[in-house]
Amino acid sequence: MGKVYYISKNVGLGLLALAAVALVTILALSIAYDKEKARNRGTSGDGTGDSTSMPPTTSSTPKEPWDRYRLPHSLVPSSYNVTLWPRLTPDENSLYIFTGRSTVEFRCVKETDLIIIHSNKLNLTDFNGQLAKLTSLSEATAPAIQKSWLVPKTEYLVLQLQRTLAVGVMYSLHTEFLGELADDLEGFYRSEYTEDGVKKVVATSQMQAAYARKTFPCFDEPAMKAVFNVSIIHERDMIALSNGREIATEDAVVDGVPVRTTTFEPTRRMSTYLLAFIVCDFISIQGVKNFSVSLQVRIWARRKAIDDGQGEYALNITGPILQFYERYYNATYPLSKSDQIALPDFNAGAMENWGLITYRETALLYDPVMSSTGNKERVTTVIAHELAHMWFGNLVTVQWWNDLWLNEGFAMYVEYLGADHAEPTWNIKDQIILYDVHKVFGIDALASSHPLTRREDEVNDPAQISEMFNTISYSKDALRVFSEPVFARGLSSYLNTFAFSNTVYTDLWDHLQKAVENTPGLHIPHTVHDIMNRWTLQMGFPVVTLDTRRGRITQKHFLLDPDSVVDRPSQFNYTWFVPIKWMKTGVEQQQYWLLKDTGEDWVLLNTNVSGFFRVNYDLQNWDRLLSLLNTDHQVIINRAQIIDDAFNLARAKIINTTLALRTTTYLSRERDYIPWESALRNLDYYILMFDRTEVYGALQAYLKKQIQPLFEHFKKITNNWTRVPAGHTDQYNQINAIEIACSTNVEGCRELIKGWYRQWMENPQHNPIHPNLKSTVYCSAIAFGGVEEWDFAWKMFKNATLASEAARLRSAMACTKAPWLLNRYLEYTLDPSKIRKQDATSTIQYIARNVVGMPLAWNFVRAKWSYIFQQYGRGSFSFARLVNGITTRFSTDFELQELKKFKEDNVHVGFGSASLAVEQAIEKTTTNIKWVTANKAGVLTWFTEEST
């Protein structure tokens, strides 16, 4: 047990920083996956500690430079001229293609007789027997190309020259090429959708991380920044978009085809992974009055979506968010325009291409009538996230992908500030705890977690790069160490210093350190590097234990499974600098330490939940806090955190399960969303473990007792359910209240939702259910209804024109309690005319989530495993989720045996991308069995006593 205190004796809260110097953690970031990275096909997921260390990549460095994944860095590009021509109709071989030509100017900085440049899956035109043309931009002539070839493994075009290139001289390399405009979501690709029964094709792009090389030959590493002069050739009834503003269009007839060439202004110096090229027939809305005139802000989407006003909300908030960031970063928006475009069937969240951000429709479009508050919040936060990258990430870029966590973590943090500025009444910053901190806590508490930082040479080939996007799904936002003003000053100096170039993460620490040193009166006893290294170079986080009797505080590496063994050594012995904000009997304390015996007073640590650690107390203080919760709960400002800490400490066997449960007894008086949500997420595990056992009756009775007042509260403030609560999070809590009240049979709840649903059935053209409540109401109405309700939902599902409405119904149909309906629904998943192939596994998963559906889904999946595997087994992340989903309730020996048998029986078929999930399911089931055995009796007694 280490004891590293972060003590500052002299500096009080009043002196700016300490309040916030709260060494905060840096929270979770890149659960980026959810938000942004889901676009990488088949990799959307929420990284659950599955990544151990990277495999040692190469024991021996390959001899030939073209066998190495990193560019030799002897050539530095300065500008490109790129012309692309995508064909939106298939050629005679029914292939969609694009053609193009590109000229890159580069400087030789190290003598070499090789030109190595990325090129992947492109058919290059032959010039006199070579795949490119080389010219010198100086007096002297360029060396002749002796030999040129492609290296598919490392994705290079290699030119062997007859002489060496001269250091300091500029050359230009010209290529012409043809590529497939495939629907593979990589590089320049094709996206298809149907509008009014007509199939439409869009050419669009996704370059991050390493797909620009699939569009044109280029030096495709983030540090190889250059200026890009782009032209796109397209049909005359289409528009073309790229990173820069359109500056000219020219009509011509090429090969007998009437076309238009759109030319864009030169980009700023930028990385290849941020390029974007789009050809489509979309329209836009633009302009915000209160924004600087020279900046063009546009929102693009399908004509119908724009005509319906769905782009208006995004347009409304983009200007204010950009202005906010300009002030916050103290750096003007670096481009002359900001385009954001919603792509139908874009398999992902969004991508921060500089000046032309791509989104899936649900992340950019908002329909005032059909969309829920949750939909709106998603639009706000995703836009704020992507716009934050325009500076952090795009203007200043990490040198290499190993530092991606900094890019994403940072944007995840700043996103809350931007969104808060756009919607100040939402208190969105409070939700950081729920959305990010708690998620990362879950993952980083495993012995198999890993540190944030990786060495540059540990991340080389594209597979390893894309793994960075999966596994950093856990990053700690190591950034919020200081108060906002100090932080913002350091940041501004960092951004201004490195504009248009690249950095490593320690550059940011340097600039923050400078900002600290330049702040009069701010004294931090350790350097930013010292503090941050402990959070970034070692995995995990501590549980801080305060013993109020002795005034002693200690820290220890927090592990969710007390029996797990950490075999990854840490140079810091798993100790951290933990700055702690605390209060004593309701009074904010001016100093961090030292505590003396606190007597009768109660003490609360981590009051603003700015710290990335869990907190434990001696039993007396726990008792004082719990009794305070039951008498005057508002005094405890971090209630959501107390609840989450208690449940996790109990999982880790640091405190008793009943102590954790006691943090929920006050909920009958709780009206706030965040503590409720925190409690419900934790109780969800109890529901899953016990909803097939005798504990469930008592658990339900207890929940009913706790939720009833909340249900009545909402009934009252919504004037008998006729209004929407005014508060943003109150709207979320209303959903919780109805969902739990109906599931525990609070009087009036089921009648209420049945009535709404019946009204809708009687008049399908007019749905009386508020968008916020639809998911919950559909699910409850189908759960407590019969075949009529189900069949109606099916009909509405088949007729739904809005994707989010179809998704709600598809999920709700899994809520029925009738086994025959569930089995019929399972069969539907095998018929693509009923359930689209891409939705099949998630539908099975929804059914498994239902306590009645779980065994049916399990039987179904076992019976059809080889078929399901053959259909979905390769590469799809949802496949792993399917296994996770079905086995979450597993907690008996019998189920464990079944699972093991399933594994044995199907060795010859295999498990594909679910292999790891099967192993984890076995491990989790084992853990669940242990937990249930240890806790069942105690939990039953507790719920029984508390529910009467």
Ligand X SMILES: *[C@@H]1O[C@H](CO)[C@@H](O)[C@H](O)[C@H]1NC(C)=O
Q: Which residues are annotated as a binding site for Zn(2+)?
A: 385, 389, 408
Q: Tell me the closest approach of the beta carbon of residue 97 to ligand X, in angstroms.
A: 5
Q: Tell me the closest approach of the beta carbon of residue 750 to ligand X, in angstroms.
A: 34
Spatial distance between the Cα atoms of 487 and 16, rounded to a whole number of angstroms: 12
Spatial distance between the Cα atoms of 936 and 930, rounded to a whole number of angstroms: 10
Which residues make beta-bridge pairs with 298? 286, 339
Q: Tell me the closest approach of the beta carbon of residue 190 to Zn ion, in angstroms.
A: 25
Q: Tell me the closest approach of the beta carbon of residue 473 to Zn ion, in angstroms.
A: 12
Among 352, 386, 415, 895, the active-site one is 386
For the beta carbon of residue 751, count every other beta carbon within 10 angstroms.
11
Pair type for strands 356-360 and 350-351: antiparallel
Q: Which is nearer to Zn ion, 364 or 516 (by Cβ)?
A: 364
287-292 contacts, C-beta under 8 A, 24 or more apart: 287/315, 288/315, 288/316, 288/318, 288/319, 290/319, 290/320, 291/319, 291/322, 291/323
Which helix H or strand E contains 385, and what residues bound it? Answer: helix 373-389
Write out the DSSP string of 849-916.
HSTTHHHHHHHHHHHTHHHHHHHHTTT-HHHHHHHHHHHTT--SHHHHHHHHHHHHHTTTT--GGGHH
Residue 572 interacts with, from ligand X, Zn ion, none (CB under 5-8 Å by kind): ligand X
Sign of dihedral through CA atoms 522, 528, 532, 534? negative
H helix intervals, 691-770: 695-717, 728-743, 749-762
Q: Which is nearer to ligand X, 105 or 456 (by Cβ)?
A: 105
Q: Tell me the closest approach of the beta carbon of residue 578 to ligand X, in angstroms.
A: 14
For the beta carbon of residue 904, count every other beta carbon within 10 angstroms.
9
Taken as a whole, the chain contains a residue count of: 948
Distance from the Cα of residue 736 to its chain's centroid: 23
Q: Which is nearer to Zn ion, 393 or 579 (by Cβ)?
A: 393
For 639-673, letters b (16+ CB in 10 Å) and e give bbbbbbbbbbbbbbebbbbebbbbbbbbbeebbbb
Residue 229 interacts with, from Zn ion, ligand X, none (CB under 5-8 Å by kind): ligand X
Residue 850 interacts with, from Zn ion, ligand X, none (CB under 5-8 Å by kind): none
Closest CA to 644 of 447, 445, 409: 445
Place of tokens 């015996």: 597
Q: Tell me the closest approach of the beta carbon of residue 480 to ligand X, in angstroms.
A: 18
Write out the DSSP string of 416-466.
HHHHHHH-GGG-GGGGHIIIIIHHHHHHHTSTT---S---GGG--SHHHHH
Residue 137 interacts with, from ligand X, Zn ion, none (CB under 5-8 Å by kind): none
Q: Tell me the closest approach of the beta carbon of residue 482 to ligand X, in angstroms.
A: 14
Residue 123 interacts with, from ligand X, Zn ion, none (CB under 5-8 Å by kind): ligand X
Q: Is 38 helix (H, G, I), strand (E, B) or coil?
A: helix
Q: Which is nearer to ligand X, 144 or 178 (by Cβ)?
A: 178
Q: Which is nearer to ligand X, 136 or 330 (by Cβ)?
A: 330
Q: Which is nearer to ligand X, 214 or 450 (by Cβ)?
A: 214
Q: Which is nearer to ligand X, 573 or 866 (by Cβ)?
A: 573
484 is catalytic: no
Pair type for strands 582-584 and 587-588: antiparallel
Q: Which is nearer to Zn ion, 36 or 645 (by Cβ)?
A: 36
Residue 865 is encoded by which pair of tokens?
């495993």
Q: Which is nearer to ligand X, 316 or 870 (by Cβ)?
A: 316
Residue 330 interacts with, from Zn ion, ligand X, none (CB under 5-8 Å by kind): ligand X
Q: Tell me the closest approach of the beta carbon of residue 86 to ligand X, in angstroms.
A: 12
Residue 125 interacts with, from ligand X, Zn ion, none (CB under 5-8 Å by kind): none
Q: Is 342 helix (H, G, I), strand (E, B) or coil?
A: strand
Residues that bind ligand X (CB under 6 A): 79, 81, 97, 103, 105, 123, 172, 178-180, 229, 312-313, 316, 330, 368, 489, 492, 496, 572-573
Place of tokens 């360029």: 142
Q: Which is nearer to ligand X, 326 or 456 (by Cβ)?
A: 326
Q: Tell me the closest approach of the beta carbon of residue 415 to ligand X, in angstroms.
A: 19
Spatial distance between the Cα atoms of 35 and 381, rounded to a whole number of angstroms: 9
- Give whole-number Cα distances, 211 to 152, 258, 662, in Å: 14, 30, 53
Residue 538 interacts with, from ligand X, Zn ion, none (CB under 5-8 Å by kind): none
Residues that bind Zn ion (CB under 5 A): 36, 408, 411
Spatial distance between the Cα atoms of 220 and 330, rounded to a whole number of angstroms: 30
Axis-axis angle for helices 853-863, 837-849 (nearest 10): 140
Q: Tell me the closest approach of the beta carbon of residue 370 to ligand X, in angstroms.
A: 12
Spatial distance between the Cα atoms of 917 and 383, rounded to a whole number of angstroms: 33
Spatial distance between the Cα atoms of 713 and 76, rounded to a whole number of angstroms: 65
Q: Tell me the closest approach of the beta carbon of residue 287 to ligand X, in angstroms.
A: 12
One-letter-per-residue 3-state SS of 191-218 = EEEEECCEEEEEEEEECCCCCHHHCCCE
Spatial distance between the Cα atoms of 265 and 247, rounded to a whole number of angstroms: 6
Residue 915 interacts with, from Zn ion, ligand X, none (CB under 5-8 Å by kind): none
Residue 104 is encoded by which pair of tokens?
């890159």
For the beta carbon of residue 64, count every other beta carbon within 10 angstroms.
11
Q: Which is nearer to ligand X, 529 or 549 (by Cβ)?
A: 529
Which residues make beta-bridge pairs with 261? 233, 250
Binding residues: 385, 389, 408
Residue 367 interacts with, from Zn ion, ligand X, none (CB under 5-8 Å by kind): none
Residue 871 interacts with, from Zn ion, ligand X, none (CB under 5-8 Å by kind): none
Residue 15 is encoded by which pair of tokens?
């002196």
Q: Which residues are catalytic?
A: 386
